[in-house]
């Protein structure tokens, strides 16, 4: 079981192993540009869409427009064509335009750096808001998606039922030095090794620390 006595060691091991795994696409985009606007839009495109689809779609869109002002020169149809086939591409095209317009008209084109304000935007949940704050502004935050939720519970580090409960539990328990990196590490781990069903425990570098809660079958 991962505890606060072993969590630093676990993160050291994961950090060393991570270069061999595929980084989440939003993190890849952020490594090219820390522009909070690009991080925000890439996050929105990634929702319910596989990374291999999100990455090319985001690059096509940003080749056309990479600021709120430039985005507003595009039509919804142009954005739809650029981001297809991301999930719900028609709805996301409208959301991209609405958020861009809001930023220009009310925020002087600057993306807010506070989670509570970001979640007021259409289509922006806590996962997206935390990613913008951490990747775009390098401010403390804990982005919890299905991978972070599943794995931190599988470790036995937290006992929660929803990603939002997991975020709050981690904010109370996880050392702040690991807040920003937890999403990158656990998403990469979840996509590569710690699958929802039949995780590849024989290849896991931290197997001896994991309580394997809920694991029925593994490889």
Q: List the catalytic residues.
A: 127, 145
Structure tokens at 105: 């008209």
Secondary structure (DSSP) of 166-180: HHHHHHHHS-GGGHH
Question: What three-state secondary structure class fits 190?
Answer: helix
- Closest-CA residue to 29 (of 49, 64, 47, 54): 54
One-letter-per-residue 3-state SS of 56-79: HHHHHHHHHCCCHHHHCCCCHHHH
**Distance from C-alpha of 26 to C-alpha of 127, rounded to nearest angstrom:** 12
Backbone angles phi, psi at 139, to 5 degrees: -100, 155
User: With contact defined as beta carbons under 8 Å apart, do 1 and 211 qualify?
Assistant: yes
Task: Count CA atoms closer than 13 A to 83's CA, side-chain side.
Answer: 34
């Amino acid at each position: 079981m991962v505890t606060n006595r072993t969590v630093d060691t676990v993160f050291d091991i994961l950090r060393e192993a991570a270069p061999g795994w595929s980084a989440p696409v939003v993190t890849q985009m952020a490594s090219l540009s820390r522009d909070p606007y690009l991080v925000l839009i890439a996050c929105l495109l990634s929702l319910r869409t596989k990374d291999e689809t999100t990455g090319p779609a985001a690059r096509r869109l940003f080749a056309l427009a990479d600021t709120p002002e430039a985005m507003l020169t595009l039509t919804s149809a142009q954005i739809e064509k650029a981001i297809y086939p991301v999930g719900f591409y028609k709805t996301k095209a409208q959301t991209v335009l609405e958020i861009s317009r809001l930023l220009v008209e009310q925020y002087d084109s600057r993306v807010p750096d506070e989670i509570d304000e970001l979640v007021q935007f259409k289509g922006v949940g806590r996962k997206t808001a935390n990613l913008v704050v951490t990747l775009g502004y390098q401010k403390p935050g804990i982005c919890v998606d299905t991978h972070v939720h599943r794995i931190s519970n599988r470790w036995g580090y937290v006992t929660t039922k929803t990603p939002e409960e997991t975020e709050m539990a981690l904010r109370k328990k996880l050392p702040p030095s690991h807040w920003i990196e937890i999403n990158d590490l656990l998403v990469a781990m979840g996509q590569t090794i710690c699958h929802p069903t039949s995780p590849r425990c024989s290849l896991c570098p931290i197997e001896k620390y994991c309580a394997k809660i809920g694991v029925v079958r593994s490889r």
